[in-house]
Amino acid sequence: MSYYKNYEDEETQTSPENMEESYGSDEDYERDQENADILDSLFEDDENGVLSEEDGEAEQDYAAEAPEARQSQEGTTVITKGTIINGSIISDCSLDVMGTINGDIECLGKLSISGKVTGNSMASEVFVDTDRLEGSINSEGCVKIAQKTVVIGDVTASSGVIAGAVRGAVDISGPVVIDSTAVIQGDIKAMSVQVNNGAVLDGHVSLSYATGVDIDTVFEAK
């Protein structure tokens, strides 16, 4: 729609005779026509905008989706290989440690350690696949210790799979699988324990998390 042209058509249409009376010369008339074209183009830009209406809606949709997209892309903080951090880390997202951290780690998301960590680790889930980790591991969910990984510290979680070596107490409130390559020096407390042939255990095993059994009443004299 052309605002200025419509106004001109309705209000200022004139015959050739009236044009001569309205404008002192052809030069004045041409100048006014140029101004009219400029104003008309400005009205069109104001109506249509820089983008079309459909493009504007697409841009709004993208702006609305962009934070979620950024969140999915930036939901994991990566400590790259070669990076050394001396101090504790607290993160509200997942953490992938490929470098070296000399300090405690606490994150609300998943924690993956393939670098070197000297300190306690706490996360919703923990996966350790490194040569050596010195410090305790506390996971609200599952903990996985890969083959050839050595952990010097206690391990606490709701479920677990241990294929590496652990020197420390293992406290799992749910089930735990001790793989054939595992070496554990310390007591194990869990709801259930699956020990694959070839695993080495040096410590006591307690299934006291098993529900429905009151140990004290079982041995009471009747």
29 or 7, higher pLDDT: 29
Its pTM stands at: 0.65
Taking each helix axis from N to C terminus, what angle separates 3-11 and 26-48, rounded to the nearest 10 degrees?
Answer: 140
The overall average pLDDT reported for the chain is 79
Selected residue with higher pLDDT from 29 and 161: 161
Q: Give DSSP secondary structure letters for 81-106.
A: TT-EEES-EEESSEEEE-SEEES-EE
d(CA 117, CA 107): 14
What are residue 57's phi and psi, to 5 degrees?
-65, -40
Q: Look up residue 208 and give its two tokens.
A: 């006291």
Percent over 90 (pLDDT), the chain: 58
Please enumerate in sequence order all residues whose Cβ is within 8 A of that of 30, keeping only pairs 6 or more positions apart, or say none: none
* pLDDT of 184: 98
Write b or e for each residue in 159-188: b if 16 or more Cβ atoms lie within 10 A of its Cβ, otherwise e.
bbbbbbbbbbbbbbeebbbbbebbbbebbb
Contact 166, 187 (CB under 8 A): no
Question: Chain-centre distance of CA 111, in angstroms?
Answer: 12
Q: Answer yes or no: are the C-beta atoms of 115 and 99 closer than 8 Å.
A: yes
**45/205: higher pLDDT:** 205
In this prediction, residue 9 carries a pLDDT of 47
Average pLDDT over residues 159-180: 97
